[in-house]
Amino acid sequence: MSYLHIYQEHQPNTATFQSDDAIKISQQLAEVGVRFEQWQATQILAHDAAEADIIDAYQQDITRLKAQGGYQTVDVIALQKGNPNAAQLREKFLFEHTHSEDEVRFFVAGQGLFCLHIQDKVYQVLCQQGDLISVPENTPHWFDMGSDPEFTAIRLFNNTEGWVAKETGSNIAKQFPILD
């Protein structure tokens, strides 16, 4: 089940807000400019569905987001359990960083933990199947896919180069809980 935990940045062991209610999650995140939605597929997808089939299943929502956000590129990232590069891939995202564009992810399957450092708080959002999150440009954040990741996500980009991270130099990500 998706959840949101909010912490003061200097109190990583005590959440000041917790909810697994999608409406409350959406409301809390909207207050800080983060979009959170839950989508339904328009067709049933096989576990090993091709990228084109995945995009087609969510085309109506993708088209709406592209129109609203000016996104140019859409792709699908998929990781299966037992990936020999899992530890290396996980480390790539576990440091606080920003992007010069929104980071938009829709979870077709599996899960991932987005941690957003906004003002003096850390918002931990566990996104699962059916969840969309849009992290605004220049928002410090990190992402945990877990030690043995298994997820499929649609990604939308304004930048045709795709995912480009800028490290903040902060070690705050090491202070907060991760998936496992």
Q: Is residue 178 part of a domain?
A: no
177 in a structural domain: no
Flag whether 174 is in a domain.
no
CATH of the domain at 31: 2.60.120.10
- Digitized pLDDT (tens) for each residue of the chain, 180 residues in all: 999 999 999 999 999 999 999 999 999 999 999 999 999 877 788 888 999 999 999 999 999 999 999 998 999 999 999 999 999 999 999 999 999 999 999 999 999 999 999 999 999 999 999 999 999 999 999 999 999 999 999 999 987 666 788 999 999 999 999 998
Task: Classify residue 171: in a domain, yes or no.
Answer: no
Considering its fold, how many domains does the chain have in total?
A: 1
CA distance 34 to 127: 13
CA distance 34 to 27: 9
Instruction: Give a yes or no: residue 9 inside a domain.
Output: yes
The domain containing residue 68 runs over which residues? 3-162
Residue 176 domain-assigned?
Answer: no
**What tokens were used for 164?**
């480009």
Considering the entire predicted model, what is its pTM?
0.94
117 appears as a binding residue in the annotation: no
Q: Does 97 appear as a known binding residue?
A: yes
- Where b means 16+ CB within 10 Å and e means fewer, 84-121 reads eebeeebeebbbbbbbebbbbbbbbbbbbbbbbbbeee
